[in-house]
């Protein structure tokens, strides 16, 4: 007997995760979405993975060889998470926050806790999602703000480093 999708999703809601805005494109033609399905693959070479729904309208913007930036949101950026998870047009999403670039040219959220500037090395299709592997070309650590975690279908605030 297999596990049905609803039971699996309910269990996964109990796996807390950092909230991120994942971007691609350029400052002139940006695209991005909110993701909690992000994790480190290896530190040698530094590689992250990001999962995105294959049916998402943003999925075609992400392709092998393209720039991709994972912007880890702070406790104060819950609103940005909601904006990038909404049905707003891409250009409207980027009206919030301050954006710059690092090595790849992908949009980097200046207020992010950390930004991992990557090149998409590989995309693997698994079920309903695309798993994108990003080789980290550069990174930028922001100020030591508290973190934003998504757990049990709601946001939770983590204290800044040293305040725990």
Percent residues over pLDDT 70 in the chain: 98
**DSSP line for 98-159:** -EE--SS---EETT-SEEEEEEEEEEEEETTEEEEEEEEEEEEE---PPBEEEETTEEEEPP
Q: How many domains does the chain have?
A: 1
Whether residue 4 is contained in a domain is answered as: no
Whether residue 5 is contained in a domain is answered as: no
Whether residue 93 is contained in a domain is answered as: yes
Whether residue 160 is contained in a domain is answered as: no
What pLDDT, in 10s, does the model give residues 8-53?
A: 888 888 888 999 999 999 999 999 999 999 999 999 999 999 999 9
Whether residue 7 is contained in a domain is answered as: no
Whether residue 42 is contained in a domain is answered as: yes
39-60 burial, b at 16+ Cβ within 10 Å, e below that, comes to eeeeeeebbbbbbbeeeeeebe
Supply the CATH number for residue 81's domain: 2.30.110.10
Residue 42 has what pLDDT?
Answer: 96
Percent residues over pLDDT 90 in the chain: 84
Whether residue 163 is contained in a domain is answered as: no
138: β partners: 117
The whole-model pTM stands at: 0.93
Given a cut of 80, whether residue 116 has pLDDT beyond it is yes
Residue 14 exposure: Cα atoms within 13 Å on the Cβ side = 4
Given a cut of 70, whether residue 117 has pLDDT beyond it is yes
Better-predicted residue by pLDDT, 160 or 116: 116
Whether residue 114 is contained in a domain is answered as: yes
Better-predicted residue by pLDDT, 155 or 161: 155
Domain residue limits at 34: 18-144
């Amino acid at each position: 007997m297999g596990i049905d999708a609803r039971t699996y999703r309910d269990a996964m809601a109990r796996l807390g995760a950092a909230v991120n805005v994942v971007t691609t494109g350029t400052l002139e033609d940006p695209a991005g979405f909110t993701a909690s399905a992000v994790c480190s693959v290896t530190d040698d070479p530094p590689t992250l993975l990001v999962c995105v729904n294959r049916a998402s309208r943003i999925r075609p913007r992400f392709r092998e060889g393209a720039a991709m930036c994972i912007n880890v949101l702070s406790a104060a950026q819950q609103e940005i998470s909601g904006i990038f998870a909404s049905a707003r047009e891409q250009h409207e999403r980027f009206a919030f926050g301050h954006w710059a670039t690092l090595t790849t040219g992908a949009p980097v959220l200046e207020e992010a806790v950390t930004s991992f500037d990557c090149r998409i090395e590989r995309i693997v299709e698994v079920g309903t999602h695309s798993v994108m592997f990003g080789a980290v070309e550069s990174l930028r650590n922001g100020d030591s703000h508290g973190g934003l975690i998504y757990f049990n279908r709601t946001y939770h605030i983590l204290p800044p480093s040293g305040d725990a």
